[in-house]
């Protein structure tokens, strides 16, 4: 087993036993079940929308908390307390240690989302909505977004404290979300044309929040609630389209770049 | 193994770029089979010197450890490091911490068990956050003893019978021992050479 695998496994095991991580994962699952109970009291499309909006809301809000908290703890406190130093002092190259620590956190995030997606699919089937493939696809899209948040927080945690790292990462995600919305508004020609070039340049350069077909549809109908308010500019409802394959690939490339940047930045960090 | 295990001239440690020097002007010479104890008050730079030798904290000056620059991964695999304080990832068991060190140093899992026994860890299956302070120090010692290294670096070791026995065994088989302690107790007699630090410099 490689050094990164050893560290990744140890980190994932340690984090998954921490009380805060268990609470966040269980709260997410409980809220999805609560959404299913509410949806069970409704009929037809209303029931489907309720189940989907609750689940999407949980994946956004609780997922953001989980991803930011995981990423923000990648280096700072453990580096100051001596835990990261103990890993480096075994002769494991620093880049390997950094990638292992990130991999361990990504494992917990993926496991958390897998659990929520499974709970949502089972709950949806129990209330007669079927397994709901669209909801599964949306869960995967949100996981992609949260990987971006985790890696942004991990990069920040090389130099910043955990709270600052989490806040910066959450802000970065909100910026990506805003950028996708602004690009949709520019495409719909509901904002000044003088801004279009600037917004397009930013959209092409920065990572893009991934929007699933399900969320795009629900946002357009104004039934996504917490997961995505209907976008209205100058009295015009703007349809935020589902992310293209190219947009998803671009965001995933940003994820790789953030992981590499975190590993490289960590090389020069003083350790206890 | 080279006869000179650690040779350092004018060690400098600075934790942040542009920040104050935590250590300056410290020289070290440590030969195979010998010991060196660094003493000084809290904040005098003892731990920083050890971190500089390991390459954990950006060292300045001329430092050679087992014939290589500090932080060289291949060399670090020949060094046993026992950090101070509570340096373990929460959520893990003490045994898992030592097993991780063994796995990363290319040792088999049985070596972790041997090191745990040699260090006398009383509750190896307890989570690290639930360990008594004494077992934290013993777990830290066990991490250093994995793989019978050529250089033992011990930060604030508690003077258990297992600690003194491990130091004696290491020196008898030709390994060098570098330790730092605020309250050295019987360690000076055991390790031989000493270096006292005041405000990051030899005092």
Residue range A62-98, pLDDT digits in tens: 999 999 999 999 999 999 999 999 999 999 999 999 9
Any chain B CB within 8 A of the CB of A131? no
Residues 249-268 in A contacting B (C-alpha not used; CB under 8 Å): 268
Which of A154, A167, A149 shows the shortest CA–CA distance to A112?
Answer: A149
Closest chain B CA to residue A88: B56
CA torsion, ordered A222, A226, A228, A232, to nearest 10 deg: 50
Q: Please name the residue ranges forming H helices in A41-92.
A: 44-72, 76-81, 83-88
- ipTM (interface predicted TM): 0.96
Q: CA B187, B99, A98, A65 torsion: positive or negative?
A: negative
Nearest CB to A18 within list B75, B76, B91: B91
Inter-chain CB proximity B56 and A268 less than 8 Å: no
Residue A35's pLDDT is 97
Contact A146, A66 (CB under 8 A): yes
Total domain count, chain B: 1
Residue B23's pLDDT is 94
CA A3/CA A254 separation, integer angstroms: 24
Q: Kind and range of the H or E element at B7?
A: strand B4-14
Inter-chain CB proximity A17 and B127 less than 8 Å: yes
Contact residues on chain A for B104, CB-CB shorter than 8 A = 3, 6-7, 87, 90-92
User: Burial of B96 by CB count in 10 Å (0-12 exposed, 13-18 middle, 19+ buried)?
Assistant: buried
Neighbours of A42 (CB within 10 A): 14
Contact A211, A251 (CB under 8 A): no
Give how far A13 is from chain B: nearest CA, Å. 7
Angle between helices A213-221 and A133-156 (to 10 degrees): 100
Write out chain B's pLDDT in tens, 203 residues. Answer: 678 999 999 999 998 888 889 999 999 999 999 999 999 999 999 999 999 999 998 778 999 999 999 999 999 999 999 999 888 999 999 999 999 999 999 999 899 999 999 999 999 999 999 999 999 999 999 999 999 999 999 999 999 999 999 999 999 999 999 999 998 899 999 999 999 999 999 98
Tell me the CATH number at B173.
Answer: 3.40.50.300
Identify how many contiguous H helices and E strands chain B contains and give both numbers. 7, 9
CA A139/CA A58 separation, integer angstroms: 10
Inter-chain CB proximity A90 and B57 less than 8 Å: no
Inter-chain CB proximity A13 and B91 less than 8 Å: yes
Inter-chain CB proximity B74 and A91 less than 8 Å: yes
Bridging pattern class, strands B192-198 and B201-202: antiparallel
The DSSP call for residue A230 is P
Contact A152, A169 (CB under 8 A): yes
Residue B101's pLDDT is 97
Nearest CB to A10 within list B47, B76, B89: B89
Which residues of chain A register pLDDT less than 50?
A: none
Inter-chain CB proximity A89 and B54 less than 8 Å: yes
What's the gap between Cα B183 and its chain centre? 16
Give how far B19 is from chain A: nearest CA, Å. 12
Contact A11, A101 (CB under 8 A): yes
Give how far B58 is from chain A: nearest CA, Å. 6
Contact residues on chain B for A6, CB-CB shorter than 8 A = 100, 103-104
Inter-chain CB proximity A17 and B47 less than 8 Å: no
CA B35/CA B27 separation, integer angstroms: 15
Closest chain B CA to residue A271: B56
Contact A263, A102 (CB under 8 A): yes
Give how far A252 is from chain B: nearest CA, Å. 29
Residue A235's pLDDT is 84
Any chain B CB within 8 A of the CB of A86? yes
Range of the domain at B103: 4-202
Contact B181, B156 (CB under 8 A): yes
Contact residues on chain B for A14, CB-CB shorter than 8 A = 89-92
SS3 call for B44 = coil
Give how far B127 is from chain A: nearest CA, Å. 10
Contact residues on chain A for B97, CB-CB shorter than 8 A = 86
Any chain B CB within 8 A of the CB of A5? no
């Amino acid at each position: 087993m490689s050094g990164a695998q050893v560290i990744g496994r140890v980190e994932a095991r340690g984090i998954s036993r921490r009380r805060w991580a268990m609470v966040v994962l269980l709260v997410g699952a409980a809220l999805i079940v609560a959404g299913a109970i509410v949806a069970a009291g409704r009929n037809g499309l209303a029931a489907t929308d309720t189940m989907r909006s609750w689940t999407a809301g949980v994946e956004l809000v609780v997922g953001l908390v989980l991803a930011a908290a995981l990423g923000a703890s990648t280096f700072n406190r453990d580096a100051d307390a001596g835990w990261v130093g103990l890993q480096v002092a075994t002769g494991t190259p620093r880049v390997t240690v950094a990638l292992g620590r990130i991999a361990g956190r990504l494992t917990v995030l993926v496991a958390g989302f897998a659990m929520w997606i499974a709970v949502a699919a089972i709950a949806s089937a129990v209330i007669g909505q079927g397994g709901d493939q669209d909801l599964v696809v949306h869960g995967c899209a949100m996981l992609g977004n949260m990987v971006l948040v985790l890696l942004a927080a991990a990069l920040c945690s090389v130099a910043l404290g955990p709270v600052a790292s989490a806040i910066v990462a959450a802000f970065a995600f909100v910026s990506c979300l805003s950028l996708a919305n602004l690009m949709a508004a520019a495409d719909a020609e509901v904002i000044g044309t003088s801004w279009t070039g600037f917004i397009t340049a930013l959209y092409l350069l920065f990572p893009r929040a991934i929007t699933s077909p399900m969320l795009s549809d629900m946002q357009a109908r104004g039934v996504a609630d917490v997961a995505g308010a209907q976008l209205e500019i100058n009295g015009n409802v703007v349809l935020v389209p589902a992310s293209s394959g190219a947009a998803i690939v671009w965001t995933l490339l940003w994820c790789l770049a953030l992981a590499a940047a975190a590993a490289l930045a960590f090389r020069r960090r003083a350790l206890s | 193994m080279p006869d000179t295990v650690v040779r350092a001239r004018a060690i400098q440690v600075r934790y942040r770029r542009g920040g104050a020097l935590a250590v300056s002007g410290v020289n070290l010479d440590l030969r195979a089979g010998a010991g060196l104890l660094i003493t000084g008050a809290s904040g005098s730079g003892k731990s920083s010197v050890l971190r500089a030798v390991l390459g954990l904290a950006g060292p300045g000056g001329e430092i050679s450890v087992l014939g290589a620059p500090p932080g060289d991964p291949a060399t670090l695999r020949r060094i046993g490091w026992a950090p101070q304080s509570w340096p373990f990832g929460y959520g893990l068991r003490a045994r898992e911490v030592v097993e991780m060190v063994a796995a990363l140093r290319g040792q088999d899992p049985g070596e972790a068990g041997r090191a745990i026994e040699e260090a006398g860890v009383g509750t190896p299956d307890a989570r690290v956050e639930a360990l008594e302070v004494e077992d934290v120090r013993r777990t830290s010692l066990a991490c250093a003893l994995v793989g019978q290294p050529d250089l033992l670096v011990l930060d604030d070791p508690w003077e258990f019978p297992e600690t003194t026995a491990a130091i004696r065994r290491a020196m008898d088989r030709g390994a060098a021992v570098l330790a730092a302690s605020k309250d050295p107790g019987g360690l000076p007699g055991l390790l031989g050479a000493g270096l006292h630090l005041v405000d990051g410099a030899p005092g």
